[in-house]
Chain A
Amino acid sequence: MKSDKFWAWLVFILGGAYFIVPLAATFEFSLRMRRGEYSFDAYASVFADPYFASSFTYSVVVGLFTIIVGILVVVPAVYFVRLRMPWLKPIMEFITLLPLVIPALVLVYGYIRLYGSSSMIPFTGSVLGTDILLTCAYVTLALPYMYRAVDNGMRTIDIGTLTEAAQIAGANQLQIIGQIILPNILVAILSGAFLTFAIVIGEFTIASLLNRPAFGPYLVGIGTNRAYEPAALAIISFIITWGAMGMINVLGRFAPRTSARTD
């Protein structure tokens, strides 16, 4: 009994150290910008850089649009496949896994060929067009996570009967999705949304090759030119990502409970 506990603790401590030691070292290094003493100079330098704020804001805005477009694409698709075309589900599973298999580099080169300024649909010919293309690319990248989050959410409610109950009460398809389905899977959608956000904030390849002023390319640029600021930025990114993950957990507690089946 006692030795069982000893081994469990040992594994736990080793595992914890694996994650915490590099993080603590990075944090410690980020504090050493001023010679001979610890300071937050590196953080001050990061926050003083106007390009930090502008690239971060840009990525947040793109992230928000990505989430909105993702929800508009995924929620109705999952709903109708579950309700009316369940035989399509394996195909849908396969398609939503593709972004994990196909490298972002391949995706963006495809985009540049298809939507380049000399093509039939020159999305990259204008700034707005390129931003739209970037958002669409991020929707694709986030698809595996958004799809699974929404699909799990719909599994917990009886969408068939709820849909019929709303239909017989006179509701149309739009009212059913907007007033019944969406509110009941809101927590699942939010967890998908925060995962999407975490992906968009750190993404480098696509933003860089489409030459957009996003946070990812900024991080890489700083990393190659400065010494202490990258460590500070790494810590800041960690805090943002953890914040997003923490929000998933907090919101999970507000999930609407489904009705009891019997007395």
Chain B
Amino acid sequence: MAAFLEVSNLVKSFGTNTVVKGVNFAFEKGEFISLLGPSGCGKTTILRMIAGFERPTSGAIRVDGEDLTHLKPNQRKLGMVFQAYALFPNLTVGENIAFGLKIAGMPAEQRRARVEEMLKLIGLPGFEKRYPYEMSGGQQQRVALARAIAPKPRLLLLDEPLSALDAKIRVSLREEIRAIQQDLGITTVFVTHDQEEAMSISDRIVVMNAGNIDQMGSPHEIYNRPATRFVATFVGQLNTLPETTFGPSRAIRPELISLAPRPETDTTLTGTVSDVGFLGSVVRLRVDVAGTPINIDTFNGNNATPPQRGDAITLHLAAKDVLTLGA
């Protein structure tokens, strides 16, 4: 089966500054793909090239077999949600959602039905007469999502759509986006710098660093088998282990260290508890192991009191869980 979204040898330079350095990826129809990386890694530029707002210096973008590289944004039949919502302030919610349908020449009766269907989908039925300024940020962003998917685009592009929202709404809206995406089976490209966000909703993650792809894979693969040092440190927490016992560039995730021996553990370390953070379901300990700080995440237990500061404790870990960091 041919790939649905295919990007080949994509390069983008602004003057002498090359921000995307020959990127290749191909994804199937219906996948939720995240472009993850720190600011300036080129992820937004790739999304803007897919949308048609930036012209690639070289390379090609194909969707469903069609070469989009030289099409204008309004010819590409894509949907996009922006960080700043970008709802049209002069139009009502209903008119905003119907905007693309009207441009495409859909008759008024069908438009109304589609708007109603979209409002139900985003959980805002009866809001069609409201104006954007009368709504909260989370509501506005849901309307922006409805506007993007109403014309049944081939591809949905999300440019950090949750960044402007507060933490609680961010989590609920990301779950909603994922549910709607799976419901409609729409191929989606999501740009974010938040690794937790990317892990929680993606089928596949593209981790970018300085204009190159460092790793592509499922959230599980990215987290458990990071391909580079950058991926290992950017995605999730990591403890660098003392060189004297383990050799150079060895590291382990905080949740893979336990306070009691398990069947698979074969290595022990001793240290002193230097800090205890109680986060509710998780207790985060900071342990000083001969000068090397090690973070440990353990689950909160009803009957076991967590260690106190200054306690001497033994840490158990399995050698197979230790990651060797590459270049």
Contact = CB atoms under 8 A, between A and B. Distances in A.
Contacts of A166: 88, 99
Q: How large is the interface on A (under 10, 10 to 19, 20 to 34, 35 or more residues)?
A: 20 to 34
Q: How large is the interface on B (under 10, 10 to 19, 20 to 34, 35 or more residues)?
A: 35 or more
Tell which of B72, B103, B166 has the most Cβ of chain A within 10 Å: B103
Contact of A259 (B76, B140, B147): B140
Tell which of B73, B148, B157, B169 has the most Cβ of chain A within 10 Å: B73
B84 A169 contact: no
B236 to A, nearest CB: 28
Nearest to B53: A164
Interface in B66-121: 72-74, 76-80, 82, 84-90, 99-100, 103-104
B165 A262 contact: yes
Given A259-B132, A263-B138, A169 B86 contact: no
A257 B51 CA distance: 28
B103 A259 contact: no
B151 interface: yes
Contacts of A164: 51, 53, 73, 80, 82, 86
A260 to B, nearest CB: 6
Nearest to B79: A168
A258 interface: yes
Given A158-B84, A261-B164, A168 B74 contact: yes
A259 B179 CA distance: 26
Contacts of B157: 168
Interface string A153-167: 000011001101111
Interface string B119-140: 0000000000001110111101
Contacts of A260: 133, 135-137, 140
Interface stretch (A95-103, A142-150, A170-178): A170-178
Interface string A130-152: 00000000000000000000000
B74 A161 contact: no
A256 interface: yes
Contacts of A257: 89, 131, 133
B86 A263 contact: no
Interface in A204-263: 256-263
B73 A261 contact: no
Given A169-B151, A257-B133, A260-B136, A175 B103 contact: yes
Contacts of A256: 89-90, 131, 133
Interface in B163-203: 164-166, 169
Contacts of B148: 168
Contact of B74 (A157, A171, A262): A171
A152 to B, nearest CB: 16
Nearest to A185: B90
A180 interface: yes
Contact of B86 (A165, A172, A262): A165
Contacts of B74: 167-172
A183 B91 CA distance: 9
Contacts of A161: 82, 84, 86
Contacts of A184: 88-90
Contacts of B132: 259
A170 B152 CA distance: 12
A263 to B, nearest CB: 4
Contacts of A169: 74, 79, 99-100, 103, 147, 151
B151 A170 contact: yes
B285 to A, nearest CB: 35
Nearest to B136: A263
A162 B74 CA distance: 13
A258 B89 contact: yes
Contacts of B82: 161, 164-165
Interface in A81-96: none
B137 A262 contact: yes
A157 B91 CA distance: 14
B78 A168 contact: yes
Tell which of A167, A172, A263 has the most Cβ of chain B within 10 Å: A263
A59 B31 CA distance: 64
B136 A168 contact: no
A172 B75 CA distance: 9
B165 A171 contact: no
Contact of A168 (B80, B138, B169): B80
A261 B84 contact: yes
Contacts of B86: 158, 161-162, 164-165
Given A158-B86, A161-B82, A167 B165 contact: no
Contacts of A172: 74
Contacts of A183: 90
A136 to B, nearest CB: 31
B73 A167 contact: yes
10 contacts: A162-B88, A165-B88, A168-B52, A168-B76, A169-B99, A170-B74, A171-B103, A180-B88, A184-B90, A259-B133
Closest 3 CB pairs of A and B: A169-B100, A165-B86, A183-B90
Interface of B: 51-53, 72-74, 76-80, 82, 84-90, 99-100, 103-104, 131-133, 135-138, 140, 144, 147-148, 151, 157, 164-166, 169
Interface of A: 157-158, 161-162, 164-172, 175, 180, 183-184, 256-263
